[in-house]
């Protein structure tokens, strides 16, 4: 009985080692061999099966969008710095702090609109089905997180109530 | 006749002295006899399983299945991680955290 138990435990340990070892080795090997070059657009090419011409067009759009995005981000960062200075010096929410919060929100909204506009343009540069899938995925990845947070805070499960 | 036998026995013992018996000799002899007479217990499921595991064919087949399962799961996971990393690279470029 005791011998059988030792055999069973040993076999389980050996089995776990074989599975775990082969899992880790193949995972690392796949990550090493399939790692894509440090190109922002490599994911688009593989995920949406883009041709060279489509990718070239999208790259043009991408490179045109990046400076605008960086500019907006710099503005938001600057406003956030100003807000931190105001909030750091006072013990309550002043009118000046509220103004800065509104300015940051406006900049974020502007930036989001610009981002969505870029997603639409990129989606249009793809074959129609892939473009729709791209747009849906990007909306979910960029706006979905906020929606989830808002839903969880309001206790709304996403179901609409019809009266 | 009987006295002759006992004399003969004494003489024989003197010629070939017997070694002393080990401690609990008789008790051990009886225990072995009882053990041999006892009915054979049926093997438990644990013993059956251990017996199966020790069979080379079963052991090799199980190791092979685990190896293939591990490699498949690892490759799948690796591909998903590569895809996720590439997606995050793109997302970080076009949608910084500040606006998400």
Domain boundaries, chain B: 45-99
The span from the CA of B82 to the CA of B80, in Å, is 5
Q: Using alpha carbons, list the distances in angstroms from residue B63 to A7, B1, B49.
A: 15, 77, 16
Mean per-residue pLDDT, A134-155:
72
Nearest Cα residue to A80 out of A63, A105, A58, A109: A105
Q: What is chain B's pLDDT, residue by residue, as a tens digit (100 residues)?
A: 566 788 888 888 778 777 778 888 888 998 888 877 766 666 788 888 888 888 999 999 999 999 999 999 999 999 999 988 888 888 888 887 655 5
**Are A22 and B78 inside 8 Å of each other by CB?**
no
Structure ipTM: 0.72
Q: Count interface pairs A-B at CB distance under 8 A.
A: 138
Segment A52-109, tens digit of pLDDT: 999 999 999 999 999 988 888 889 889 999 888 888 877 777 888 889 899 999 998 8
**Are B67 and A142 inside 8 Å of each other by CB?**
no
| Contact (Cβ atoms closer than 8 angstroms) between residue A62 and residue A43 | no
The span from the CA of A116 to the CA of A110, in Å, is 10
**Are B46 and A40 inside 8 Å of each other by CB?**
no
**Are B90 and A28 inside 8 Å of each other by CB?**
no
Mutate to test the interface with A, among B59, B62, B72, B95 (most CBs of A within 10 A): B95
Mean per-residue pLDDT, A136-147:
78
pTM of the model: 0.63
Residues in CB range of A1: below 8 A, 6 or more apart: B44, B46, B47
The span from the CA of A31 to the CA of A84, in Å, is 41
Number of alpha helices (DSSP H) and beta strands (DSSP E) in chain A: 6, 0
| Contact (Cβ atoms closer than 8 angstroms) between residue B54 and residue A7 | yes
Of A30, A41, A72, the CB nearest to B74: A30
The span from the CA of A105 to the CA of A145, in Å, is 17
| Contact (Cβ atoms closer than 8 angstroms) between residue B86 and residue A46 | yes
**Are A31 and B90 inside 8 Å of each other by CB?**
no
| Contact (Cβ atoms closer than 8 angstroms) between residue A16 and residue B60 | no
The span from the CA of A23 to the CA of B66, in Å, is 10
Show residues of chain B in contact with A35, CB under 8 Å: 82, 85
């Amino acid at each position: 009985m005791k011998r059988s138990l030792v055999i069973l435990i040993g076999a389980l340990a050996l089995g776990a080692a074989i599975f775990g070892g082969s899992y880790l080795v193949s995972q690392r090997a796949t990550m090493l061999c399939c790692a894509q070059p440090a190109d922002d657009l490599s994911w688009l090419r593989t995920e949406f099966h883009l041709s060279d011409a489509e990718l070239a067009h999208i790259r043009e759009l991408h490179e045109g969008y990046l400076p605008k995005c960086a500019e907006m981000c710099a503005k938001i960062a600057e406003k956030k710095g100003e807000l931190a200075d105001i909030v750091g010096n006072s013990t309550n929410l002043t009118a000046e702090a509220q103004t800065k919060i509104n300015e940051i929100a406006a900049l974020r909204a502007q930036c989001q609109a610009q981002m969505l506009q870029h997603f639409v343009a990129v989606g249009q540069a793809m074959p129609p089905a892939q473009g729709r899938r791209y747009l849906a995925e990007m909306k979910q990845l960029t706006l979905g997180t906020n929606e989830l947070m808002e839903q969880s805070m309001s206790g709304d499960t996403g179901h609409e109530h019809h009266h | 006749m009987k006295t002759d036998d006992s004399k003969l026995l004494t003489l024989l013992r003197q010629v070939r002295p017997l070694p002393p018996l080990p401690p609990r000799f008789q008790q051990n002899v009886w225990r072995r006899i009882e053990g041999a007479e006892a009915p054979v217990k049926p093997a438990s499921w644990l013993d059956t399983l251990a017996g199966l595991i020790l069979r080379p064919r079963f052991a090799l087949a199980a190791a092979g299945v685990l190896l293939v399962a591990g490699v498949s799961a690892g490759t799948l996971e690796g591909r998903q991680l590569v895809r996720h990393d590439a997606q995050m690279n793109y997302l970080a470029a076009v949608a910084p955290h500040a606006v998400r």
